[in-house]
Chain A
Amino acid sequence: MITFKEGNLRIPKWNRKVFIVAGGTTAYKKYFPEYKLEELAMIAFKNMLEDNDLKMDPLEVKGLINFATYGEFADHFQDQLLCEAKIHDYLGLDPLHNLGIKTGGATGGSAILAAAMAVASGYADVALAAGWERMDEVDTRTGNYYIATAACKDFETRLGRVYSSYYAPMANRFAETFNVSEVTRAKIAVKNHLYACSSPYAQQAGKYTVDEVLASPMSAYPLRFLECCAMSAGAACVLVCDEETAYKLTDHPCELFICGGTHTLRVADRRHMEVPLLPHETPGMYKDLYGKEGARYPGFESFLASRFAAWLVYRMADIKNPLEDMDLVELHDAFTISDLQTYGDIGLRPYGQEQDYIESGDAYYINPNTGKPGKCPSNLSGGLIGTMHAVGATGIFQAAECLWQLQQKYDKFHGDPKIWKKWWKEKPKDWQSLQIPKNSKQALWVSHAGVGSHVTVGILRKSW
């Protein structure tokens, strides 16, 4: 049984405010022979320094950086230890110090958390958080096996060698416990593939129907290929800094709050515990759900690491109700089921009612039920299913997308035909802007590893 003592539940607090002012990314591709890894990192770095309307010359901005954190998921994908040193040198940042950060799928979020810690503590005024993954040196099945070594090697890896087979039992249990149709999952896939059509960075854009998703080849029942994330090559970065520097660099900085949580690598080992309640939840509300004989929380249905990270960051950032307070969420939709599960963990809906976030239309840019803007749209970037999962870059790419949305720069970073051309694509004639409204104030993103082994929840708050 997990029981907490007083110190375990201390709410993280920065010693001074932390901001994100700029983001950069490459496009994401299944196979990226055009550039070496360090070249991809340089392209994202230049994008961050040169294209974010910063009030200083790019090299002057670079001259403010005094620390870097780098996210990379797996050494065996890169087949190169100490990539951090190679890329740091390539970006021309020697001899400043850098730290390599590794927490599986949550690596990007963790790299930003580490950069924020450096700024908050005073170690740095300006920190670079960059991440990358090159998953194209091996064929897909070998890539699947590499990823599946992030399941327990003694007791789980041999039973699937593909990560969908560790999420699929959660999907079956979730459907049974909360009475959820697979159509709801398919709708998530349709939505995220569709939003990727507006992104020049997207690897898996497509206009699919629910029927097409459900008819696509099976990976591990009930998860179809169109419900699974991309395996990508690419890089992303953000610039993290203190308050004074933030306003020196831009009139449109966003304040950053971010916390993390961890839970067992094996879902098998999750022992029942009481639900840690979010600010808008009330004691006793889960009595029916988890009061039953044999019921388990978080069981196979939910992620304690996500709940715990949200539990902390909502208190850190004084969030009362995420659905009301957030104008955009970018969730870690590695699989449709993990996206669905997360709605409960971060309180977009109470546990047991996760599907309503999709069915109500709240999760859409335009609510299909009302034709009006969705209450709290999700994964307008196209997410992991539609756009990218170059693992070490993912949590950083999501943060950059949140930043650009709050800064009203969605069109600048997605609608410029030159960006499409830069990545050998043509801007679609029916391109649609997914810019969130001007009065939007806050965006949240979830960076998630394993079957919920590490999770960070970050919040960006418009600060002008």
Chain B
Amino acid sequence: MVKKTIQKKKKLETKKKKQTKKKEEIKFIGKVTKIRQTEPRTVIEWPRTLTHVHTYGMLSPFFKGLREGKLMATRCPNKNCPENRLWIPPRAHCPDCHTEMTWKTLPNPVIGKIYSFTEVVYAGIGIELSTPYWQVDVELPGLATIPKSYLLYGKPYIGMKVKAEFRTKNPTNTVLDYHWVPYEK
């Protein structure tokens, strides 16, 4: 009796296997979507994780420069161009005459003056600086622009003198690789 049932079972199993081989059903391999609420209407969760690749393009020397403790700017080499000041953020091409710009390293110590500032208390998701922190816009001699960065410590005011410092150890490989510190003499 026992043998018989076992044999039967085996037969059944082989039949089943054959059947599944014949009909290859599509399987759900994703994660079950969670329902967040059903009232007043059904709302589901929609998770997203993404990595983009992003090129620094012709501005790559600027970011490499930060890692090496250098603040680099671009300048239009065209002598007939009305704009001969330096650019930080740098640009690869002059907006006025379209000439390809050339690089200039600002000599250390780089000293600037705070043009404006804010204390960032509430920051958006992914913030890489501990809040609250002082975001500062710094005026530098010879620049057409007023680059934005942050003050590592101290309290800023408009007109305050500051010195550039670099994150050469454990660089972030972003614009956060330089910042300012108070410069009193």
The one of A143, A155, A160, A271 in contact with B135, judged by C-beta atoms closer than 8 angstroms, is A160
Interface residue A353 (Cβ < 8 Å from any Cβ of B): no
Residues of A within 8 Å of B120, CB to CB, are 159-160, 162, 165, 168, 220
Interface 9-mer from B10-18, B26-34, B35-43, B163-171: B35-43
What residue of chain B has the Cβ atom nearest to residue A39's Cβ?
B41
**Do A218 and B148 have beta carbons less than 8 Å apart?**
no
Binds A, one of B1-9, B67-75, B98-106, B110-118: B110-118
| The residue from B116, B119, B150, B174 contacting A300, defined by CB atoms under 8 A apart | B116
Distance A164 CA – B119 CA, assembled complex (angstroms): 10
25 pairs from A and B in contact (CB 8 Å cutoff)? A1-B83, A34-B41, A35-B41, A139-B125, A144-B122, A145-B124, A145-B125, A155-B147, A159-B120, A159-B129, A159-B135, A161-B125, A162-B120, A165-B123, A169-B117, A169-B137, A172-B158, A217-B122, A222-B118, A223-B118, A267-B137, A268-B137, A268-B146, A268-B148, A269-B89
A-B contact sample (13 more), CB < 8 A, given A154-B56, A164-B122, A300-B146: A79-B46, A155-B147, A155-B148, A158-B176, A161-B123, A162-B123, A169-B118, A173-B158, A176-B158, A266-B89, A267-B146, A300-B115, A300-B116
A432 is an interface residue with CB less than 8 A from chain B: no
Pick the contact of A218 from B83, B121, B144 — CB < 8 Å? B121
Q: Cβ of B41 and Cβ of A168 under 8 Å apart?
A: no
Residues of B within 8 A of A155 (CB): 89, 147-148, 175
| Partner-B contacts on A (CB < 8 A) | 1, 3, 33-35, 79, 137, 139, 141-148, 152-156, 158-162, 164-165, 168-173, 176, 217-223, 225, 266-269, 271, 300
Asked whether A173 lies within 8 Å of B115 as measured between CB atoms, the reply is: yes
**Knowing A1-B96, A268-B89, A268-B145 touch, does A221 contact B125 (C-beta < 8 A)?**
no
User: In the complex where A142-B124, A154-B59, A159-B148 touch, is A33 in contact with B41 (Cβ < 8 A)?
Assistant: yes
Q: Which residues in B have their C-beta under 8 angstroms from that of A137? A: 46
Q: Given B41, B48, B59, B124, which contacts A162 in the complex, CB threshold below 8 Å?
A: B124
| CB-CB nearest in chain A for B43 | A33
A33 and B126 CA atoms in complex are apart in Å by: 26
What number of residue pairs across chains A and B have CB atoms under 8 A from each other?
135
Q: Which residues of B contact A144 (CB under 8 A)?
A: 122-125
Most buried by B among A156, A160, A221, A267: A160
CB distance from A27 to the nearest CB of B (A): 14
Looking across the interface, which residue of chain A has its beta carbon closest to that of B144? A271
Note all chain B residues with C-beta closer than 8 A to A146: 124
* Interface membership of chain B positions 165-185, coded 1 if the CB is closer than 8 angstroms to chain A and 0 otherwise: 000000000111000000000
A170 and B148 contact, CB distance less than 8 A: no
Contacts of A1 in B (CB 8 A): 82-83, 96
Interface residues on B, range: 35 or more
CA–CA, A288 to B79, complex, Å?
A: 32
The answer to whether B78 has its CB under 8 Å from any CB of chain A is no
Q: Are A154 and B89 in contact (CB under 8 A)?
A: yes
A144–B123 alpha-carbon span in the complex (Å): 8
Whether B40 pairs with A172 at a CB distance below 8 angstroms is: no
Contact status A161-B126, CB under 8 Å: yes
Name the residue on A nearest B50 (C-beta).
A76
B167 to chain A minimum Cβ distance, whole angstroms, is: 13
Residues of B near A170 (CB, < 8 A) are: 116
Given A141-B124, A152-B89, A161-B124: A220 and B56 interface contact (C-beta under 8 Å) = no
**In the bound complex, what is the Cα–Cα distance between A236 and B57 (angstroms)?**
40
B127 at interface by CB-CB < 8 Å: yes
Do B125 and A142 have beta carbons less than 8 Å apart? yes
Given A33-B37, A158-B176 in contact, is the A148-B124 Cβ separation under 8 Å?
yes
| Given A141-B124, A220-B119, A220-B122, residue A165 in contact with residue B135 (CB < 8 A) | yes
Residues of A within 8 A of B48 (CB): 79
Which residues on B sit within 8 Å (CB–CB) of A267? 137, 146
User: Given A154-B56, A155-B147, A169-B135 in contact, is the A221-B128 Cβ separation under 8 Å?
Assistant: no
A225 / chain B contacts, CB cutoff of 8 Å: 122
A residues near B144, Cβ cutoff 8 Å? 269, 271
Query: Is the beta-carbon distance between A162 and B122 smaller than 8 angstroms?
Result: yes
B42 to chain A, nearest CB (A): 8
Residues in B with CB closer than 8 Å to A171 are 118
Contact A220 B118 (CB under 8 A): yes
* Chain B: CB-nearest residue to A1: B82
Contacts of B40 in A (CB 8 A): 33-34
Output the nearest chain A residue to B83 by Cβ-Cβ distance.
A1
Knowing A33-B37, A159-B148, A268-B89, say if A154 contacts B123 (CB, 8 Å).
Answer: no
Nearest residue (CB) in A for B91 is: A269
For A165, the chain B residues whose CB sits under 8 A away are: 118, 120, 123, 135
Report chain B residues within 8 Å CB of A266. 89, 145, 148
Q: Is the CB of B175 within 8 A of A159?
A: yes
Residues of A within 8 A of B46 (CB): 79, 137
Report the bound CA distance from A90 to B16 in whole Å: 47
User: Which residue from chain A places its CB closest to the CB of B127 in the assembled complex?
Assistant: A161
Distance between Cα atoms of A221 and B122 in the complex (Å):
10
On chain A, the residues within 8 Å of B41 by CB distance are 33-35
Shortest beta-carbon contacts, A-B, top 3: A161-B124, A168-B118, A144-B124
**Which residues of A lie under 8 Å from residue B121 when comparing CB positions?**
217-221
Q: How far is the CB of B162 from chain A (nearest CB, A)?
A: 15
A141 to B124, CA, bound (A): 5
Q: Mark B139-155, 1 if CB is under 8 A from A, else 0.
A: 00000111111100000
| Residues from chain B with Cβ under 8 Å of A34 in the complex | 40-41
What residues on B are CB-neighbors of A173 within 8 Å?
A: 115-116, 158
Interface-centre pick from A33, A143, A147 (highest chain B CB count, 10 A): A33
- Chain A residues with CB under 8 Å of B115's CB are 173, 300
A266 and B88 CA atoms in complex are apart in Å by 11
